């Protein structure tokens, strides 16, 4: 089958089988084209909670599929490719955070959504890169324990100076690889370009940015800006999508180190196999995990 034929089959079958396809912005173009909803992790979690379809297929990473299951426990939720984890989400577990909480009992535990559902059960509120600043400002407590990403945490702490932040040393190994030298080189090569970065990048990179935001935030900024050239400091797929969508502008990678093997692992064929019932993994979570993890996701939606 050609790519077009696979896509046509997916579109036909998803209607027949009452399937909603969600695709994170880092997914390949041929997957985004057949999805019902695309966007950053915040948008997808809200879209997932509103859909009426019986079945949801997540083309993204495991924590995103788990978030869908928590928000829609009566639906059947699949992760299109079971190996698509997130290196950051796997860094911290419930036991570790429970111990840290004992040391800081008067802190509100704010968990980046890039965490496992099990870890979310001991956290107070979730945030995504696009909602973290807004939610941290709204939290009544002035003491915030921000996990697991110390780079996003440092960025939020800077925007919310009135609060005390405690950070742990976790983060995205892909975004953390980019350094000041990469920024200087990219800016020297493209002196007229604006630098747009994801807050998972280190503070030494974020410092140089003209705009800092989520994957959707970066795409919106590039769309609305009058500038003609942009250096994109997040997974390379975003520069590729932007170049395709806005051919009159020029988009450059901040670094070729920004390739997420987890996000790249899902193919159109994985999605097709999942749609026909011969692939993917159904997300199964026990009732207690769903109830306990849902509290902090609901809190995110309420405050966000």
Which chain residues interact with ligand 13P by CB under 6 A? 40-42, 114, 128-129, 172, 198, 200, 214-215
In the list 61, 147, 156, 160, the residue contacting ligand SF4 (rule: CB under 6 A) is 61
Rounded (10°) angle between helices 41-50 and 287-303: 110
Per CB under 6 A, the segment of 99-107, 256-264, 267-275, 289-297 that binds ligand SF4 is 256-264
Kind plus residue range of the DSSP H or E element containing 78: strand 76-79
CB 229 within 8 A of CB 242: no
Local structure of residue 199 (DSSP, 8 states): T
Rounded (10°) angle between helices 215-224 and 236-245: 30
Give the contacts of 170 (CB within 8 A, at least 6 positions apart): 88, 91, 92, 147, 148, 149, 150
Shortest gap between Cβ of 214 and ligand SF4 (angstroms)?
A: 11
The Cα 70–Cα 297 span in angstroms is 8
Q: Which is nearer to ligand 13P, 7 or 45 (CB)?
A: 45
Shortest gap between Cβ of 130 and ligand 13P (angstroms)?
A: 6
Q: Is the dihedral of CA 205, 211, 213, 216 positive or negative?
A: negative
The Cα 296–Cα 184 span in angstroms is 39
Instruction: Supply φ then ψ for residue 42, to 5 degrees.
Output: -70, -50
Shortest gap between Cβ of 84 and ligand SF4 (angstroms)?
A: 8
Residue 47, contacted partner among ligand 13P, ligand SF4, none, CB below 5-8 A by kind: none
Q: Which is nearer to ligand SF4, 76 or 87 (CB)?
A: 87
Shortest gap between Cβ of 40 and ligand SF4 (angstroms)?
A: 11
Shortest gap between Cβ of 60 and ligand 13P (angstroms)?
A: 8
Residue 87, contacted partner among ligand SF4, ligand 13P, none, CB below 5-8 A by kind: ligand SF4
Kind plus residue range of the DSSP H or E element containing 22: strand 19-24
| Site for ligand SF4 contains 260 (CB under 6 A) | yes
| Site for ligand SF4 contains 23 (CB under 6 A) | no
Shortest gap between Cβ of 301 and ligand SF4 (angstroms)?
A: 21
Per CB under 6 A, the segment of 2-10, 83-91, 115-123, 285-293 that binds ligand SF4 is 83-91
Residues facing residue 21 across a β-bridge: 57
Nearest one of 17, 119, 115, 58 to 265, comparing CA atoms:
58
Shortest gap between Cβ of 21 and ligand SF4 (angstroms)?
A: 18
**String of contacts with ligand SF4 for each residue 159-198, x by CB under 6 A:** -------------x-x------------------------
- Pairing outcome for strands 19-24 and 250-253: unpaired
Shortest gap between Cβ of 54 and ligand 13P (angstroms)?
A: 26
CB 128 within 8 A of CB 92: no
In the list 202, 262, 266, 289, the residue contacting ligand SF4 (rule: CB under 6 A) is 262
In the list 114, 151, 266, 289, the residue contacting ligand SF4 (rule: CB under 6 A) is 114
| Site for ligand SF4 contains 289 (CB under 6 A) | no
Whole-angstrom CA distances from 265 to 60, 82, 167, 201, 269 are 9, 9, 30, 22, 11
Residues that bind ligand SF4 (CB under 6 A): 61, 86-88, 114, 172, 174, 200, 235, 260, 262-263
């Amino acid at each position: 089958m050609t790519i077009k034929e696979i896509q046509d089959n997916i579109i036909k079958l998803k209607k027949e089988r009452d399937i909603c396809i969600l695709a994170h912005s880092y997914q390949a173009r041929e997957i985004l084209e057949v999805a019902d909803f695309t966007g950053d992790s915040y948008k997808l979690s809200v879209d997932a909670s509103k859909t009426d379809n019986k079945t949801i297929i997540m083309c993204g990473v495991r924590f995103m599929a788990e978030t869908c299951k928590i928000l829609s426990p009566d639906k059947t939720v699949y992760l299109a490719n079971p190996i698509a984890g997130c290196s950051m989400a796997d860094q911290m577990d419930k036991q570790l955070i429970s111990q840290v909480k004992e040391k800081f009992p008067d802190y509100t535990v704010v968990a980046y959504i890039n965490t496992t559902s099990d870890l979310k059960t001991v956290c107070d509120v979730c945030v995504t890169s696009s909602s973290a600043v807004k939610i941290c400002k709204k939290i009544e407590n002035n003491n915030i324990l921000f996990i697991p990403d110390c780079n996003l945490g440092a960025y939020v702490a800077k925007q919310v100076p009135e609060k005390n932040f405690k950070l742990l040393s976790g983060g995205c190994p892909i975004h953390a690889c980019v350094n000041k030298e990469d920024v200087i080189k990219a800016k020297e090569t493209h002196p007229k370009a604006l630098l747009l970065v994801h807050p998972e990048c280190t503070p030494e990179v974020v410092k140089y940015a003209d705009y800092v935001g989520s994957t959707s935030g970066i795409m919106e900024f590039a769309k609305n800006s009058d500038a003609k050239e942009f250096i994109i400091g997040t997974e390379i797929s975003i520069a590729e999508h932007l170049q395709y969508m806005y051919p009159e502008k020029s988009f450059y990678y901040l670094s070729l180190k920004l390739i997420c093997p987890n996000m790249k692992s899902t193919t159109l064929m994985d999605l097709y196999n999942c749609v026909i019932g011969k692939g993917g993994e159904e997300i199964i979570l026990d009732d207690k995990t769903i109830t306990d993890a849902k509290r902090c996701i609901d809190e995110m939606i309420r405050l966000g």
